[in-house]
Amino acid sequence: MKIDIFKEMEKHGFEQIIFNYDKTTGLKAIIAIHDTTLGPALGGCRMWPYETEDEALIDAMRLAKGMTYKCAVSDNNFGGGKTVIIGDPKKDKSEALFRALGRFVQTLGGRYYTGTDLGTTGMDFVYASRESDYMVGLPEEYGGSGNSAVPTAYGVYNGMKAAAKIVFGSDSLKGLKVAIQGVGKVGRVLVGYLKEEGAQVIIADISEENINKVKEKYPDVEVVESEKIYDVECDIFAPCARGGIINDDTISRLKCRIVAGAANNQLLEPRHGDALHEKGILYAPDYVINAGGLIQVADELEFKNDEKRHERVMMKAKGIYDILLKIFTISKEQNVPPHKVADRLAEERIEVIGRLKTNYVKR
């Protein structure tokens, strides 16, 4: 490894990194626990054929730190963690591999909970849960909270309303033109909320099948070629596909007033958030506006599986409106880009709650 691990841990405030190797299955997994001030670490498990161990470690650390901020800013009582499995999800999966992972997670005694991410599915964690009490996001049939796309899309819709309130003075999306990049699990639910409110929706996707699914239900939705979506004149651009799409090339092409969508890591680099701010485009920080899925998983851990779960999760996802309104208001008052305000609010919450815990309480 070329990385100076302890130096990186110190620089980014990491608590623990665990390298797990299972002799029977050949499992190679890195668990990164960033910060547990607010509660046990929470974060999915990604399986990817990383070319180097450094690459896998960097990914685990970057994603774990991101989870700390996401949990903190969205009013969840969890810290940030992430697992990466070095392997090809198409070839290297087995029941034994995920049970081996489950056994390692179990040794952490509840300091860390995990579930699906890129390259893993709910069923993988059904296997892991045979060995561990710390698996989340299982399929509904196995007691999990199921599809997270609905609360995610609802959070994005409410986040858009907060942005509209700041930019247009009203949080109604009626008549606004919204261009959505990617109508997969989240994007297509979002189309429904927008159409219901009377917004004008334009979509792009590289999957014809996914476009057809939307067109069947909403024939009047306009479709553009996937590369053209950046050039569409619109009020809101909603990235709901891949990360890194706000970059030097695309920012100059955008003709919108707001960027608000579900995709993770929308800014290629943090400086692109500054560039949007300078261009007068209001950016809803991705990890705030897309926290609906996390809210659902956190609810699975904090509360019982009762009939109120869906209602509770949707209520919290709706609360993304207030969180973003606060971020946008501070951003405007202090002329600081929203992504930086979000980071600051997350850090402040961790600091204050952490300080509370210095009072001795006998347990």
Interacting residues toward ligand NAD by CB under 6 A: 148-149, 152, 181-187, 204-207, 210, 226, 240-242, 262-264, 290, 293
> Judged by CB, which is closer to ligand NAD: 66, or 104?
66
Amino acid at the residue 49: P
Q: What is the smallest separation between the CB atom of 53 and ligand NAD, expressed in angstroms?
A: 24
> Judged by CB, which is closer to ligand NAD: 104, or 159?
159
Residue 82 is among the residues annotated as catalytic for this protein? yes
Q: What is the smallest separation between the CB atom of 193 and ligand NAD, expressed in angstroms?
A: 14
Joined together, the tokens standing for residue 41 give 């670490």
Q: Is 224 annotated as a binding residue?
A: no
Joined together, the tokens standing for residue 232 give 């569409």
Q: Is 186 annotated as a binding residue?
A: yes
> Judged by CB, which is closer to ligand NAD: 107, or 207?
207
199: nearest Cα among 227, 155, 236: 236
Q: Which ranges in the chain belong to alpha helices (H)?
A: 5-12, 53-73, 95-107, 122-128, 149-168, 185-197, 208-217, 248-251, 270-278, 286-289, 292-302, 309-318, 320-334, 338-356
Of the residues 82, 161, 316, 340, which is catalytic? 82
Using Cβ positions, the residue closest to ligand NAD within the complex turns out to be 184
User: How long, in residues, is the chain?
Assistant: 363
Q: What is the smallest separation between the CB atom of 251 and ligand NAD, expressed in angstroms?
A: 17
CA atoms within 13 A on the CB side of 223: 17
> Judged by CB, which is closer to ligand NAD: 206, or 356?
206
b/e per residue, 205-214, with b = 16+ CB within 10 A? beeeebbebb
Q: Is 119 annotated as a binding residue?
A: no
- Cα 217 from chain centroid (whole Å): 27
> Judged by CB, which is closer to ligand NAD: 54, or 140?
140
29: nearest Cα among 43, 11, 15: 43
Q: What is the smallest separation between the CB atom of 123 and ligand NAD, expressed in angstroms?
A: 17
Amino acid at the residue 140: E
Q: Is 11 annotated as a binding residue?
A: no
Do 132 and 117 contact (CB within 8 A), yes or no? no
Q: What is the smallest separation between the CB atom of 348 and ligand NAD, expressed in angstroms?
A: 23
Do 115 and 127 contact (CB within 8 A), yes or no? no
Do 66 and 34 contact (CB within 8 A), yes or no? no
Q: Rounded to whole angstroms, how far apart are CA atoms 95 and 33?
A: 25
Q: Is 155 annotated as a binding residue?
A: no
> Judged by CB, which is closer to ligand NAD: 108, or 288?
288
Q: What is the smallest separation between the CB atom of 5 and ligand NAD, expressed in angstroms?
A: 27
Radius of gyration of the chain (CA): 20
Q: Rounded to whole angstroms, how far apart are CA atoms 257 and 137?
A: 35
Q: Is 43 annotated as a binding residue?
A: no
Interstrand relation of 222-223 and 41-42 (parallel, antiparallel or unpaired): unpaired
Positions marked active-site: 82
Binding-site sequence positions for NAD(+): 182-187
Residues in binding site = 182-187
